[in-house]
Chain A
């Protein structure tokens, strides 16, 4: 069709086009390290939860969270551990826990909440818990 030329994305052919990687500082750790770290933290989180230390669990999983390309496995593992923590917390305790976390952790937590909300049927995603956490983080900040 003659009109299809309008649908061509000409920017993809631009030599100087902006790549997503240019917009942020790349993670200095290499993908294997990130994956190993994520697995280690996942194991640690189970320990924290059994001791009842939710703040410790959240701080460890949200700190230095994996980002960027090539670390999708690490991101999934981190998400699963985080969901475990969120589901094991009693709603009553949530405000106190949020208060105890540093503000950078709040931002990372929000990002994971949205990531989980985008996968409603996945594994242990409990939408009710996600919405409760979302509301509490929002009203705290």
Chain B
């Protein structure tokens, strides 16, 4: 199994991320009112564009894979749809042109997602509503319609069903709901499925409680749409199969999950305050946690610091730009590199020198001991996990995570749907 690829993109939290369709670029929110696009450059990510139009923190970004448009939403109660255009002054460059979407909400927007057919997008907001926006050809603008009842508090997360009409929403009123967002100008009547047969606008096809009473941070439909998973702040993950009918609750003993994504019809990856993604797998009869994708004892690729953000990155022999293989990719090498760049060591018997040694005396991390680092790759909460790569059978083979530590990590996920014991492959 390949090792996870870790990149330190910024020294600030990465609130949201979304990859371009070919995965050569990533749009990120760097905890500010600008969204940035970074492009892959060898083993690093370089900033190439800035999407600066919002007045407040950009809370969510989604990059549509087929139509190549980006939608961003922010705490300034607005959303913008960005389309690519050639720069008039420099035709070989591309520029992203924003189009304002008037959402008519009086609180911050929390998450935005394109629908599967990319003709609509939904914006979850703190105004206790979800705005479903579609393009009105006649007026040449994005019109928004709000789903309000029976939401009683901020909507924290949303996920689309493959039929382009049903939308799952997790809210701070401790409930996960499935809504119909049927718009008669845009959608064709969807065929009956496990969630119901009639879907007029704002129908609630299902409402589920978080078992211990916690905000529902993340929701997700399975690839077929026949199951719904949601993660609550009470450290539980619940999977609902309306057809069975079955509601399976997994009570965790660890910190709550903030984000999840399905990797196969019977597997999902959840991540959050524990700073590591965990794989869960199961069937309507039962689910369980399989393993963490972050195996502290396995081979690790050395973290690559983006040169734009850390001017004094560790450029020891092969440390900054080499491929993550061989003798340079192990715990012993990392220890010596830590000792060199941070002036501290976790090697028994060696005196640590908090003042920094040699070349990197002025490093901003001098004084932080090696043992203050977490054993996981992410050093802080993971804010977002999204599918990165698919295998030949349609299952997700890699997921990407971004966290409050400013890192982007790509994790390989077992290709056989999660039921094959991942531990045996090491």
Contacts and interface: CB of A to CB of B under 8 A. Distances in A.
Interface of A: 18, 22-25, 103, 107, 141
Given A23-B173, A23-B174, A24-B213, A18 B251 contact: no
Nearest to B252: A141
A18 B394 CA distance: 42
B213 A22 contact: no
Interface string B203-222: 00000010011000000000
Contacts of A103: 251
A18 B152 contact: yes
A18 B253 contact: no
10 contacts: A18-B152, A18-B153, A22-B173, A23-B152, A23-B174, A23-B213, A24-B213, A25-B209, A107-B212, A141-B253
A18 B213 CA distance: 15
Could you say which of B152, B173, B174, B209 has the most chain A C-beta atoms within 10 Å of its C-beta? B152
Interface in B151-203: 152-153, 173-174
Given A18-B173, A23-B173, 5 more contacts: A18-B152, A23-B213, A24-B174, A103-B251, A107-B212
A22 B253 CA distance: 27
Chief secondary structure at chain B's binding surface? loop
Contacts of A25: 209
A111 to B, nearest CB: 10
A18 B150 CA distance: 11
Contacts of A22: 152, 173
Nearest to B234: A107
A140 B251 CA distance: 14
- Most interface-central of A18, A23, A24 (chain B CB within 10 A): A23
Nearest to B154: A18
B367 to A, nearest CB: 32
Contacts of A141: 253
A22 B174 CA distance: 10
A24 B173 CA distance: 9
In this complex, the member of A22, A25, A103 whose beta carbon has the largest number of chain B beta carbons within 10 angstroms is A22
A107 B212 CA distance: 9
Contacts of B212: 107
A25 B213 CA distance: 10
Contacts of B213: 23-24
Contacts of B209: 25
Contacts of A18: 152-153, 173
Contacts of A107: 212
A130 B152 CA distance: 36
Nearest to B152: A18
Contacts of A24: 174, 213
Nearest to B251: A103
B266 to A, nearest CB: 25
B30 to A, nearest CB: 31
Nearest to B175: A23
Interface in B233-261: 251, 253
A18 B128 CA distance: 10
B148 to A, nearest CB: 9
Contacts of B174: 23-24
Contacts of B173: 18, 22-23
Interface string B370-399: 000000000000000000000000000000
B253 to A, nearest CB: 5
Nearest to B153: A18
A141 B251 CA distance: 10
A39 B399 CA distance: 54
A141 B252 CA distance: 9
B233 to A, nearest CB: 12
A141 B212 CA distance: 15
Nearest to A24: B213
A17 to B, nearest CB: 9
A96 B344 CA distance: 43
A22 B207 CA distance: 14
